[in-house]
Structure 1
Amino acid sequence: MTNPIVSAAWLMNHINDSEVIILDARLDQNQSNLENIHPNLQIKGARLFDIKNNFSDSNNPLPNTFPSQEKFTAECQKLGINKNSIIIVYDTLGIYSSPRAWWMFKTMGHSNVFVLDGGLPEWIKEGYPIEIRHETTNFLLGNFEAKLQPEFIKNKEQILENIATKEATLIDARSQDRFNATLEEPRAGLRSGHIPGSINVPYTELLKDGKYKSKEMLSEILNLDDQPLLFTCGSGITACIVLLACELISDNPKAVYDGSWTEWGSTNFPIEK
């Protein structure tokens, strides 16, 4: 199992490698109300991986859903990404939206992708080179080609079926109070509660100071068996934080419920509280 995360020191040692491309996968706003403390800075040479505007299905009313294979290919090529690129993704909160970008590349068939543990805050703390944030898009067109791995994404019907079959373990990354419906959903109009049979692992329990906890601690918190794993959250972002934590310690098959609670909570599908 290849380690899917890299340290700031590793990236600094490889920052000038010709095949390395650094992607800034920040979200300027987030449902967790976390504050970007360096909104105007980026890692030197980073390219903006715009999840909201370029790497989501703009025709889908749900937020952050996977774009088509064709759109993903076109947007990656615009960023100068090639088939042989070694992609390092980071965000400005340490670990937040970067695992989503990482999982999107995996789902689109590109395995040479890694998350910068600690993200921009760790990079700045180490004194490594930064620059004023910009959104340059005039890169040489890359030859990247997406090849969708459909088993990595699940829809609501597949999640509904799993309630009955229990073939996979469904992990919900939202906070405990949202999972237990003691706090209203931040998105208006959604029911509160959780998908029947799911277990709650708030993504915040897996992180410390913007980095993943040790593999030993992750194993203790997650307590995984051999079942396939499915991941859900509010809109498919923080589910990938938990998925990546599981990837650090487990080879179990993994998939994300892309619609997550934003979709499930707006249907008449069963819920538990």
Structure 2
Amino acid sequence: MNRKPINYPLMSVSCLYEKCNDDAVMIIDVSMDKVIGKEPIIYDELVTIPNSHFLDINVDLVDTDSAGVHSFPSQSQVNKVINKLGISEYSTLVLYDNQGIYSSPRAWWIFHTFGLSNVFILDGGLPEWIKQGYPTSSEYLTIDTKNVESLVNVGSDVISFMDSCFDARQLVSKQEVLINLTDKKFSVIDVRATARFNGLVDEPRQGVRSGHIPDSINLPFANVLNGNTYKRPTELRHLFSSILPEDSKRVVFSCGSGITACIGLVALISSGADTRLYDAALYDGSWSEWGSDASLPIAKSKI
């Protein structure tokens, strides 16, 4: 199946500052309370980018009917978010989080998978916005339901548009990953820290084994970042070309529970024209699913 080209997913803080008063631009904070895999940035009080909405991706963009951790949302849940925020086919969404780059790539991949293409990640997020000296707020924007009714394509028209654009190939299942151990149809990149990947430390979630999916490649998500922002495309191209097999075309990203895997996924997409030829996907269950299933094989470091 031929896939539509993916737009460059990142927007700089300077670009957002120029656009922040544009009515078509919707700024959304998708920060998460719990941060795993990095030292969290702590705020003494609520700090936001002016005119931004808050979307709790732990609630609004998680499949509550699934037993998995942070499972990908259902179509109906995404439709509810679209209507709740008043998103139309013509909206430009800019997603950010208060850790720089952490949960915003996850929200971006969800929206992209369900057909919204005019969506961007604020490169560097709130920390970079503050670093550059742009104004901040201490509250979120509240949707006026009366105004929502007047927006173009809100409701069934938008839902119909989303239904027709869902791309199931952007997700892979546990069974597909298991079959791939034999078929070798895609490469798996695990973005967890090296000690976790090698099984040298206990997993943070109870009942989850230590180690990694056999034949997977370790690329800690911190390696695609330069502080709070993504590394430059040339650096990312070199990084991925140094770890991926020359004949690799499909690349599946994994992590602990499907959140930080999207950091690596977006890094591959934003690395430039050459690597956009890769067919990128997310193993949503990630290690929390694989490591919990005693019937599945695991690998550990021989150190």
Bin of the TM-score, shorter chain as denominator length: over 0.9
Percent identity of equivalent pairs: 40
TM-superposed deviation, 1:134: 3.9
RMSD: 1.5
How do residues 208-223 of structure 1 correspond to structure 2 at under 5 angstroms? Answer: 208-223=226-241
SS at match of 1:54: coil
Query: 1:6 corresponds to which letter in structure 2?
Result: M
Question: Which among 256, 262, 269 is matched to residue 282 of structure 2?
Answer: 256
Aligned to 1:61: 67
Q: Is the 8 A contact 2:31 2:56 kept in 1?
A: yes
Instruction: Point out 4+ residue stretches in structure 1 off by more than 4 angstroms.
Output: none
Rounded to whole Å, the distance in 1 between the matches of 2:97 and 2:108 is 11
The farther-off stretch of 136-145 and 112-121 is: 136-145
Aligned to 2:87: 81
TM-superposed deviation, 1:76: 1.9
Q: Is the 8 A contact 2:26 2:91 kept in 1?
A: yes
Aligned to 2:3: none
Q: Does 1:269 align with 2:296?
A: yes
Aligned to 2:261: 239
Aligned to 2:170: 152
Aligned to 1:36: 41
Where does the alignment leave 5 or more consecutive residues of structure 1 unmatched?
A: none
Q: Is the 8 A contact 1:201 1:222 kept in 2?
A: no
TM-superposed deviation, 1:28: 1.1
Aligned to 2:217: 199
Query: 2:66 corresponds to which letter in structure 1?
Result: N
Rounded to whole Å, the distance in 2 between the matches of 1:263 and 1:176 is 19
Query: 1:270 corresponds to which letter in structure 2?
Result: P
Rounded to whole Å, the distance in 2 between the matches of 1:2 and 1:150 is 18
TM-score, length basis structure 2: 0.86
Number of residues paired by the alignment? 273
How do residues 80-229 of structure 1 correspond to structure 2 at under 5 angstroms? Answer: 80-134=86-140, 136-139=142-145, 140=148, 142-143=154-155, 144-145=158-159, 146-147=162-163, 148-223=166-241, 224=244, 225=246, 226-229=248-251
How do residues 7-46 of structure 1 correspond to structure 2 at under 5 angstroms? Answer: 7-32=12-37, 34-38=39-43, 40-46=46-52
The farther-off stretch of 173-182 and 33-42 is: 33-42
The farther-off stretch of 142-151 and 44-53 is: 142-151
TM-superposed deviation, 1:174: 0.3
Rounded to whole Å, the distance in 2 between the matches of 1:42 and 1:34 is 20
Deviations 1:52-77 (A, max 9, x none): 01110112122211111111111221
Question: Which among 2, 5, 11 is matched to residue 7 of structure 2?
Answer: 2
Greater helix content? 2
Give 1 or 2 for the bigger CA radius of gyration.
2
Deviations 1:22-41 (A, max 9, x none): 11010011222532333511
Where does the alignment leave 5 or more consecutive residues of structure 2 unmatched?
A: 1-5
